[in-house]
Amino acid sequence: MNKALGTGMKNTQWFLPSTPSFPCSWDRSCQCNSSSCLKVPIFCLVKIVDILEQFLREGGLSALMWEVCQQQAQAASPELQETLLNKVVCLPDHLSNKLQGENLPIFLPQNYFPLLGTEIIQVLQRISDSLRGGLDCSISFVSQVLGKVCVHGRRKEILSTLVPCLTDLTKSDCIWQRMCWRLVECVPDRWMEAVVCGFVQTAPGADVLSRLLGNLVVKNKKAQFVVTQKLLLLQYSCPTAMLQNLLGYLALDNSRRFLLLKVLQELMETWASSSAVKHSPVEQQLYISKAILICLSHLKDVEIDSHRQELFTCMMEGMKCHLDSNLPRIRCLGMIVAESISSRINTDGPILKFQYEEDDETRELKSLLTQMLSPPSVISPLDEGRKDSPSAVTEAELKPGRKPLAAACAVSEEGSDSELDSDDDFIPYDMSADKELKKTKAPLYIRDCIEVLTGPEDMDKWEATMRVLETLIQRNTAATQEVSVELAKVLLHLEEKTYIDDFVELRQKALVTVTITDPIPVAQYLTSQFYSMNYSLRQRMDILDVLALAAQELSRPKAPGKNKPSSIQTPCIQILPGSDSSKDWRKIVDERIKSKTRRFAKGQSQVELVCAPNKFSSVAGHFFFPLIQNFDRPLVTFDLLGDDHFVLGRLAHTLAILLYFAVNTVVAAAMGKALLEFVWALRFHTDSYVRQGLLSCISSTLLSVPSDRLLEDVTEELVETQAWLAACLALLADLSNDDNPGPWLPTFTKGLQASRCSREGSRWRLQEAGLAESAANGEPEKET
Amino acid sequence: MIAAMALPPPDPEFVLRGTAAPVHTLHFSCRGQEPEFPILFSGSANGLVQIWNLKTHRVDKTMDGHGGKSVYWVETIHGRDGLLSQGRDQKICLWDLAEGRNVVTDSISVDSVGFCRCSLLKVAQDRWLIAMPANDPDEVQVLELPSKTSVCTLKPEAGAKLGMPMCLKLWQPGFGACPFLMAGYEDGSVILWNLSMGKMLSRLACHQEPVMSLDFDSEKAKGVSGSSEKVLSVWSLDEQQNLKVHKTHELINSGISDVTIRQDRKILATAGWDYHIRIFGWKKVKPLAVLDYHTATVHCVAFSDHSRPSERLLAAGSNDQRISIWSLYNQT
């Protein structure tokens, strides 16, 4: 490096013979470069470009900056500095403007700015030399260069060379460290953000960042704002590593830790604010959750002690509004963050524990809490390379030695295996019946089941009953009908007394089967219970699920032979191999005939569809109308239009499903009319899940109600709905970057498409075409 | 196509009812020539030994020789003219069955009150060895029949803490060679004894619980043992006469009361406390079938000694007083 520096010095002298005259001559040449070029003949231009290239190649930039730095110490003219700054930073732009296609590679930004980075290092080297020599030197011009380059959007190029060098140089040298801090501090405020962001992004670890920036955040207000507010709360695009750098940097020095606490406080406030949870995008909430978890991982126990109460309050607040959300991802985020906070603040007491499904995101979030500061010395790329290569070599050397041995083992094992295989080819029988032995016997009658389920606690018997209930109900239809409502009541109130792995499913299946066996009384009971007091939301949603599933079962045509396979599974008669062979014979003959027969029809022969009356048609009203009746009458414990909007959303979906299964029934038209009124009443609901439900209601109305009935009976409602949807679409088009338009459009267009398909050729098509057109207009807007 | 799908497990070929008590032991004798019919001996909890005719599926003879105390081991001697039966009345009876007789001609008294079944090995023409628990709780005694002279008493060294012997299996590497004894003990270990020296050769602690039953395949030097745990343990004997665990197989339910390897060493059957009979391939201990018929603990399983492989049967006796007869994996 010293050598390079030496040549650079010499070159400077060569290029600028006398220091005092240099600024003027440079100024002139610049002017010639930028403004008077038009008049310059082509050979002149080429020559100037040549000279410039040589200037860059021979380290002219560092000489130039060093010159300015020296002058600055003796106070030079600001205009000159300004011009110089402009020229140095904008040189690639000027040249590419001028030279167009014939630009030289060295002037391309991707080459120029890394070069500038190394030149800056050289200047810094000289400054450090002169500082060691006791001479005063100003670094602010270099800072300005750096700032301006960063703000011009070239921070990646320049910092990718600058940061690794600085990381190395500051490792053990305190003068370099101070210079580096000064370099960043001297960046003018208007460029500070770009520089700080660049450093946070490029630094390989929090400790490096801390070494490079020093206590910048404490000294510089702008930097503090960027670090504590802008990067954390006002945007959410940084990758996790950058967040870790940033917060780790705050945590590393005691003089900065108060900022960490402040940041955590602000993050927690945002996290706990219900309006933020409702209105900000999921990605931002994920970002904030990550930041909170990283902060928590950095906090010391003492700090937690002093802020326990605040953290606790925020946690309760935030947990509530997260769990209120209809989006599973947000609920999950809330659960993870709350769990993490509680595990940190309750060192000895009970901690929160939620049940959620583990996926990559939850695992990543949890890992953030556990991983502490990044390892103390982040290895510089150079070191890394050095370290990697020998290990790679040794591994490669070791491998061949190990491999044959392992292979030999495998071979010998295989050999012995194949030898054994020869007479071990018995075909195993089905062993699915091999279950854990249950000591108790399941009851055989429905009434016994009710007794067991309500009676004293005998867990084994209870479990056996749960498992057998569905089949018992199916088998004894008549017996079930006698006690159907009672059984439904018992099942609805049933709680999981002991752990059964599929309790929820078993209970639901049993309830659905009861509903199918005796639809009218059970549906009446369930729908009435939906609107009565003293039920949990879970039970109310269970009711909805059961009604929907039962409707599906009832409307599905039952194949007469459907139950046969299950009876085959418990064989009574062993088929002898002899009879099998006769079957094979039949099959072979059939195959032969088939192969010699020519068929003229194309395509596969269609499977015969089983025809059966829709059993749901006669009972659909009992399912539907009691449910839609009372939604606007709040109870003390149940307020559909208020807090319990999640159930309202489920209700809307369930009604849509019920109507869908009531297709081709007489009552469908009345149901459709009621449903459109329901939609109309709720169309401005604030919750997206509810609105989504309304859209499926509309789709299902369009699908299930015959078109002539639609036009005759519910024309007004339809026109209103159409107007509403059109208005919504227009709104969507306006707010194309609205935060949460997601669920709207697909449902709507799908519904439209479906209805269009189902009603080919009806008069309704004209109006629909209008709707579809507006949908088509809306869609691209949303895409952008 | 059909082969790819797992077939449902077969049902019993037939079921023998009428023991009127839990069945504790079974023994086939099917080698007889044409005028003779295949028979099955059963010993049950009411002290009766019954002879079942497998042609008619009826009881041919009922023999009462143990004073109403449970019979838990029967074995033929002299073809089917003689029978040994061991009962809870601490007696081993020798029955003479030749020419339609059924009388106890001799008996050996056993001092042990344990549940350990005896083991019989034919060492020469008209010479047998019988291993049985001795009067010291942890000892095994080997007698020569028909002379009833004691060959040796196998006593573990002091401090071995094996507990009582639970199951015995006499075997010899080849006819005329020096006989060995495999014994499973109360502490869960299996021990190989050398009878000529009367000394323990190897000890393998393969279970945590008492070994309920074991069987040994002298050709492959590999054995299997079951205990009251959920594990079926397969062990092997190497050239240095050391026992080593070869493989363990985890079961769904705990408790194996009997384990038997078929004479052709291809399959293995276990009698489970969970009412199931399990069939495994013997080479790899691959589970082949779970036979579900009984409604109570299965006490014993036995394979028939039919000379024609296709006729081979499997019998299982259970606490539900029934004997189920199965025909499995008989194709050669």
- Please tell me whether residue A144 adopts helix, strand or coil conformation: helix
Residue A497 tokens read as 């007394």
Residue A570 tokens read as 């418990």
| Dist CA A381 CA A36 (whole Å) | 45
Taking only the tens place, the pLDDT of each residue in A637-650 is 777 877 788 888 99
B268 domain-assigned:
no
Q: Cβ–Cβ contacts within 10 Å for residue A132, how many?
A: 9
**CA A358, A361, A364, A369 torsion-angle sign:** negative
- The pTM of the full predicted model, rounded to 2 decimals, is 0.50
User: Distance between the two ends of chain B, CA-based, in angstroms?
Assistant: 22
From the CA of B327, how many Å to the nearest CA of chain A?
12
CB contact under 8 A, A427 and B3: yes
CB contact under 8 A, A437 and B275: yes
CB contact under 8 A, A426 and B3: no
B42 domain-assigned:
yes
Which DSSP letter does residue A528 get? Answer: H
Among A612, A709, A623, A705, CA closest to A665? A705
Domain boundary among B226, B250, B274: B250
What's the whole-number mean pLDDT along residues B30-53?
Answer: 87
Which residues 3-42 of B have a C-beta within 8 angstroms of A?
A: 3, 6-11
- Please tell me whether residue A509 adopts helix, strand or coil conformation: helix
Q: Which residue of A424, A581, A582, A583 is the best one to mutate when testing the B interface, meaning the one whose CB has the most B CBs within 10 A?
A: A424
B147 domain-assigned:
yes
From the CA of A601, how many Å to the nearest CA of chain B?
28
Query: Are B52 and B65 found together in one domain?
Result: yes
Query: Are B46 and B89 found together in one domain?
Result: yes
Query: Per DSSP, what are the bridge partners of residue B279?
Result: B269, B289
Q: Which helix (H) or strand (E) holds A332?
A: helix A328-345
Which DSSP letter does residue A44 get? Answer: H
Task: Report the complex ipTM.
Answer: 0.80
B309 domain-assigned:
no
Which residues 225-284 of B have a C-beta within 8 angstroms of A?
A: 252-253, 266-267, 274-276, 278, 281-284
Query: Are B123 and B34 found together in one domain?
Result: no
Among B92, B121, B95, CA closest to B109? B92
Q: Which of A402-416, B145-159, B179-193 has the lowest mean pLDDT?
A: A402-416
Residue B270 φ then ψ, to 5°? -125, 145
Report the number of distinct structural domains present in chain B: 2
Of B9, B266, B278, which has the smallest distance from its Cβ to A423's Cβ?
A: B266
Length of chain B: 332
Percent helix, percent strand, percent coil in chain A, to nearest 5: 75, 0, 25
What pLDDT score does A15 carry?
Answer: 41
Give chain A's residues under pLDDT 70: 1-40, 72-76, 371-424, 438-440, 558-584, 599-610, 735-784
What pLDDT score does A455 carry?
Answer: 81
Q: What is the CATH number of the domain that holds B93?
A: 2.40.10.480
CB contact under 8 A, A424 and B274: no
Three-state SS string across A698-752, please?
A: HHHHHHHCCHHHHHHHCHHHHHHHHHHHHHHHHHHHHCCCCCCCCCHHHHHHHHH
User: Helices then strands (H, E): number in chain B?
Assistant: 0, 28
Q: Which residue of B286, B288, B314, B318 is the best one to mutate when testing the A interface, meaning the one whose CB has the most A CBs within 10 A?
A: B288
Q: Which of A416-420, B152-156, B205-209 has the lowest mean pLDDT?
A: A416-420
- CB contact at 8 A, B24 and B309: no
Residue A8 tokens read as 């650079």
Of B8, B284, B286, which has the smallest distance from its Cβ to A430's Cβ?
A: B8
| CA A20 from centroid of its chain's CA atoms | 61
Cα distances (Å, whole numbers) of residue A474 to A452, A516, B164: 19, 9, 53
CB contact under 8 A, A434 and B281: no
Angle at A561 between CA A559 and CA A566, to 5 degrees: 115
Query: Are B200 and B220 found together in one domain?
Result: yes
Per-position DSSP letters for A173-208, written without gaps between them: -HHHHHHHHHHHHTS-HHHHHHHHHHHHHH-SSHHH
Query: Are B118 and B242 found together in one domain?
Result: yes
What pLDDT score does A75 carry?
Answer: 65
Of B8, B275, B329, which has the smallest distance from its Cβ to A571's Cβ?
A: B8
- CB contact at 8 A, A173 and A179: no
Domain boundary among B43, B75, B109: B109
CB contact under 8 A, A434 and B11: no
CB contact under 8 A, B275 and A420: no
- Please tell me whether residue A81 adopts helix, strand or coil conformation: helix
- Residues in A closer than 8 angstroms to B278, CB to CB, are 434
CB contact under 8 A, A429 and B10: yes
- Residues in B closer than 8 angstroms to A427, CB to CB, are 3, 7, 288
- Residues in A closer than 8 angstroms to B253, CB to CB, are 436-437
Q: Are strands B119-124 and B127-133 parallel, antiparallel or unpaired?
A: antiparallel
Angle at A133 between CA A131 and CA A134, to 5 degrees: 65
Query: Are B38 and B139 found together in one domain?
Result: no
- Residues in B closer than 8 angstroms to A428, CB to CB, are 6, 286-289
CB contact under 8 A, B9 and A431: yes
- Residues in B closer than 8 angstroms to A421, CB to CB, are 283
CB contact under 8 A, A420 and B266: no
Query: Per DSSP, what are the bridge partners of residue B128?
Result: B122, B145
Query: Are B160 and B131 found together in one domain?
Result: yes
Domain boundary among B250, B282, B302: B250
B2 domain-assigned:
no
Which residues 52-111 of B have a C-beta within 8 angstroms of A?
A: none
Q: Which residue in this structure is represented by tokens 């106070």?
A: A75
Query: Are B242 and B132 found together in one domain?
Result: yes
| Dist CA A516 CA A27 (whole Å) | 93
Angle at A284 between CA A283 and CA A285, to 5 degrees: 90
- Residues in B closer than 8 angstroms to A434, CB to CB, are 252, 276, 278, 290
CB contact under 8 A, A429 and B7: yes
Query: Are B31 and B75 found together in one domain?
Result: yes
Residue A166 tokens read as 């600085």
CB contact under 8 A, A431 and B10: no
Residue A601 tokens read as 């029809």
CB contact under 8 A, B267 and A424: no
> Environment class of residue A324 by beta-carbon count within 10 Å: exposed (0-12), middle (13-18) or buried (19+)?
middle
- Residues in B closer than 8 angstroms to A574, CB to CB, are 10-11
B326 lies within 8 A of chain A by CB:
no
B79 domain-assigned:
yes
Query: Are B165 and B41 found together in one domain?
Result: no
Taking only the tens place, the pLDDT of each residue in A539-563 is 899 999 999 999 999 988 765 444 4
CB contact under 8 A, A436 and B253: yes
- Residues in A closer than 8 angstroms to B4, CB to CB, are none
CB contact under 8 A, A436 and B275: no
Q: What is the CATH number of the domain that holds B171?
A: 2.130.10.10
Q: Cβ–Cβ contacts within 10 Å for residue B100, how many?
A: 7
Q: Which helix (H) or strand (E) holds B331?
A: none
List the domain range (segments joined by +) for residue B47.
23-109
- CB contact at 8 A, B269 and B277: yes
Query: Are B97 and B222 found together in one domain?
Result: no
B16 domain-assigned:
no
CB contact under 8 A, B284 and A420: yes
| Dist CA A695 CA A679 (whole Å) | 8
Of A429, A432, A570, which has the smallest distance from its Cβ to B288's Cβ?
A: A429
CB contact under 8 A, B7 and A423: no
- Please tell me whether residue B204 adopts helix, strand or coil conformation: strand
**CA A35, A38, A39, A44 torsion-angle sign:** positive
B311 domain-assigned:
no
Residue A128 tokens read as 């450090």
Query: Are B187 and B65 found together in one domain?
Result: no
CB contact under 8 A, B289 and A431: yes
Cα distances (Å, whole numbers) of residue B6 to A423, B270, B313: 19, 21, 22
Strands of B298-303's sheet in order across: B14-17, B322-326, B314-318, B298-303
- Residues in B closer than 8 angstroms to A435, CB to CB, are 252
Locate the domains of chain A by residue range: 43-213, 216-371, 448-517, 542-555+614-734
From the CA of A567, how many Å to the nearest CA of chain B?
12
CB pairs under 8 A between A and B: 64
